[in-house]
Structures are given as C-alpha cells and as structure tokens.
Amino acid sequence: MDRNRPTFDDAAYRSGSDADLFASLYDRHVGAIRLYCLRRVSRSDVDDAVSDVFGVAWRRIDQVPDDGTELYWLYGVARNAIRNIDRSGRRRSRLVARLASLAWRAEPAAEVQIVRSEEARVVLEALGSLREGDQEVLRLRMWEELDRHAIGAIFGISPAAADMRINRATKRMAQALRRSGVAEYFEQAPSMIAEVPDE
C-alpha cells in the first residue's frame, strides 16, 4: 500500500528542493528500510511499515538530518512504525478470536508457507527472552551490520556506551542460546563459521 507516498498534488505543496530531498532519501534508503522491516514484522505488513516510514519522512522532511545520519533517523521512525503494527496485530488477533466463536467453519485449504527452520525458531525465542533494548541492539548489530557509532546515534548514546550495550547484549544472548540447547547445534559445525574474536 503506497498511501503515504506523496502524490503529485502533495508535492505541489512542497518546494522543489523538499521533493528532491525526499526522492533522494527514498531512493537511497528504501532497500535498507525494507530489510529492517522484513526482519521485524510479518511479510504481509512490510509494505505498510515501509510506506509509514516514508510517509513520516515526507511529512517531517525538514527534520531529517543532513549530516549523513539520515538512515539512522529512518531506523528510529521505522521502530515506531513497527510498534504501531504490533499493536494492530494484537487487535487483529482479538478479532480473529472473536470470529472463531461464530458458528462458521472455514474450508480447509492447502497452502505453502515459508517458515523458519527449527533452529532459527529457537534462536528467535532466545532473542525474545532478552530485554527489548538488548534485542534491538543485537538486531542492529548483527542484521543491519551497524557499528557502534551508528547504534549510538540511533539510541542517542556515545559509541563507547553503545559498545558496552552490544557486549552485554551479546553475552546475554549467548547465555540464552546455551540455556536453550541450540548453541550446541552451532558449536558442532565450527568449519561452517568463521571465528570472530571477542570485540
């Protein structure tokens, strides 16, 4: 759904430079934002999340930083957009539960779904057992491959503080993985994984 993409009429209310700035922002970062959303919401919600992010960017184009950290600003917007989607997802769950009480039976139908492997599911459960802040630090570090400077910019903390949070989150995640038993799965095939020195 592209409801938040600016239309031609919308653009007429903005100066040409705003429209150009937004177009540049979109072209450069839509891929990264899409991946960010893919990693945090269901695939059916990704388009909505991405359009929400750039809808906010369009409305607040004058607040987008111009010092090279605009992607981190967009990540922050995306984080809020995903919180909203999480809320609507819970609402939909309640709706489905209510509908299940109706005297109506669904027709069984086969379908193909892409699902995670068992190991990935356990890893995500371990990730979910951490505090939300630790989860996001790990996602940003491991999935978005951001360094401590970028993570510090997103969280509004110094690179040194970001480093500490990364290390603490990593240790907690490793503990969670070992508790879940899935760590053995990865440790038994060391040839597949390049050893990474402790940072």
Partner 1 sequence: MNDHTLVRAAMDAADPAPENPSEMAITLVTRQEPEAGGIEALDVDRHAGWRERRGARRWIAAVAAATVAVIAVSSLVILVVGGGSPERSSVARPASVSSDPWCQQRPLVEQPTSESPDSLRAYYTAQLAYALISAELAPPAISYEATVVAQDIRRIHGQLEATGWVDDSIDPSAEADAAAQAVRDYRTIACP
Residues found near partner 1 in the complex (CB under 8 A): 35, 38-40, 48, 52, 59, 80-81, 84-85, 87-88, 91-92, 94-96, 98-100, 102-121, 123-124, 126-127, 138-139, 142-143, 170-171, 173-174, 177, 182-183, 186-187, 190, 192-199
In the bound complex, what is the minimum distance in angstroms from residue 116's beta carbon to partner 1? 6
Q: How far is the CB of 55 from partner 1 (least distance, A)?
A: 8
Nearer to partner 1, 24 or 160 (CB): 160
Give the shortest CB-126-to-partner 1 separation in angstroms: 7
Residue 149 or 178: the one with the smaller Cβ distance to partner 1 is: 178
Nearer to partner 1 among residue 25 and residue 137 (C-beta): 137
Please state the closest distance from residue 104 (CB atom) to partner 1, in A: 5
- Nearer Cβ to partner 1 (98/156): 98
- Please spell the DSSP secondary structure of 158-184, one letter per residue: -HHHHHHHHHHHHHHHHHHHHHHTTHH
Tokens found for residue 101: 């009480």
CA distance 20 to 1: 22
CA 44 vs. chain centroid, Å, equals: 14
Nearer to partner 1, 20 or 178 (CB): 178
Look up tokens 């491991």; give the residue: 142
Residue 51 Cβ, how far from partner 1 at the closest point, in Å? 10
User: Could you give the angle at which helices 148-155 and 159-180 cross, rounded to 10 degrees?
Assistant: 100
Angstrom CA distances, 59 to 18, 38, 62, 65, stand at 10, 23, 8, 14
User: Tokens in use for 98?
Assistant: 């209510």
